[in-house]
Amino acid sequence: MRLIKSGGGRVQRLAAAALWFFVLFFLPAKLPAIASPSPPPRVTADAAILVEWRTGQILLEKNAHQKRSPASLTKVMTALLALEKGRLEDIVTISPRATQVSGSRMYLRAGQKYTLGDLLQGLLLKSGNDAALAIAEHIGGSVEGFVQMMNDRARSLGAWETEFKNPHGLTTPGHYSSAFDLALLARYALNNPVFAQLVASRETEISELTRSTDIYLRNTNRLLWGFAGADGVKTGTTSVAGNCLLASATRGATRFIAVVLHSDNRWRDSVNLLDYGFANFSLATPVKQGDVLAYLSVAGGRKREVALTAEEDLVAVVAVGEGAALRAEVDVADGVRAPVERGQRLGTVTLWLKDKLVGQTSLVAVESIPPKRWAEYFLEVWQSLLQRVVLWEDFDWR
């Protein structure tokens, strides 16, 4: 990796060292799928996508931005909102409306009471449509109010190809999403540790609070039993949407998310996509948080310079068997005047693959540097004068 410094409009080489990486990193929302050593798998799904979880890099896509019925993959957003707006220990009373929904259900009865945490397990493992309505009424005050919250949250996360009409995913005119948006929502939701734990659970039991009635829940996601590293996320099936699956799997530091919509075999399609990811790609971290990448002169400070470090990791998707020169460019000013605060942003470091920007983060000060006191200025002047006197006396006048 070559490290180059630029400042004051001039580009200078700060350091140079040879280091080769297989790199591609997701920045724009529609970055093309990157090349791999092996041909991509064939999928039967009408729409599909494979992304690396941490960076969002698209590794494979098929009609990924096509608006389609998402079926119960909708419940990813329902669960996310419940976790953001509610508390797991909240007591939820089941309404008559929640018990009248069709499709996959927990068979809740009006007047029963469950904790929000237990309903979330029924929502994500059993795919209970009745649990979805009960959660929506509890969090949003009404189903309609909750649906508005779902759409607002989707927009805030950048899911512009999504419109929700209900919290469960049953076919409704105008209710749609895309493989790209569903992967985006899953990427965000999986950052929530409770969500990640729920969707990775194979089975559990919950209890109705007033009668202590136990309900056994078994996850509808078969990959949790049959695919190494599988840890989520959600199944979905309706006559219009067909068989759908939002799958996640982690091996080591690498996690992939696969989405298949209207698939002839959602299990095989998802396994093929995830296997393709693990066989051909991994992660590299060419710039790590805390790496000292530059020194900046400090005018009027108790120290003459301050070290600058990367504010966060720059992570890149690595394609096995393909190498490319990656360079890091450090952009800082010629200097800064004291005081300097620890963590103060004083530059940027960008990663480039040839002419393509593949990552960027800020450079921050590793320590605080206060300005000099007047006494320190006086001492410096006095020491300088003494040094001149000594030099004058030592001068050979002959």
For position 30, what pLDDT does the model report? 46
Place of tokens 């040839």: 354
For position 32, what pLDDT does the model report? 46
Give tens-digit pLDDT for 222-260: 999 999 999 999 999 999 999 999 999 999 989 999 999
For position 283, what pLDDT does the model report? 82
Do the strands 324-332 and 2-7 form a parallel or antiparallel pair, or are they unpaired? parallel
**288 a catalytic residue:** no
| CATH code for the structural domain at 47-263 | 3.40.710.10
Q: Sketch the domain layout of the chain as residue ranges.
A: 1-23+286-315+323-398, 47-263
Share of the chain above pLDDT 70, in %: 82
**For residue 9, is pLDDT > 90?**
no
Give tens-digit pLDDT for 306-357: 999 999 998 878 777 664 556 789 999 889 999 999 999 999 999 776 677 8
For position 17, what pLDDT does the model report? 30
Overall fold of domain 1-23+286-315+323-398:
Peptidoglycan synthesis regulatory factor (PBP3), Domain 2 (2.60.410)
Please identify which of the residues 36, 69, 104, 127 carries the catalytic annotation.
Answer: 127
**For residue 71, is pLDDT > 50?**
yes
For position 317, what pLDDT does the model report? 81
What confidence category does residue 379 fall into, taking pLDDT thresholds of 50, 70 and 90? Answer: low
Please identify which of the residues 62, 75, 126, 234 carries the catalytic annotation.
Answer: 75
For position 10, what pLDDT does the model report? 32
For position 325, what pLDDT does the model report? 55
**For residue 387, is pLDDT > 50?**
yes
**72 a catalytic residue:** yes
Q: Which residue has the higher pLDDT, 125 or 19?
A: 125
**What end-to-end distance do the CA atoms of the chain give, in Å?**
57
Max avg pLDDT among 170-174, 290-294, 353-357, 387-391: 170-174
Please identify which of the residues 36, 69, 72, 178 carries the catalytic annotation.
Answer: 72
What confidence category does residue 154 fall into, taking pLDDT thresholds of 50, 70 and 90? Answer: very high
For position 31, what pLDDT does the model report? 45
**297 a catalytic residue:** no
pTM for the full predicted model = 0.81
**For residue 94, is pLDDT > 80?**
yes
For position 326, what pLDDT does the model report? 67
Give tens-digit pLDDT for 285-308: 888 999 999 999 999 888 889 999
Amino acid in the structure at residue 253: A
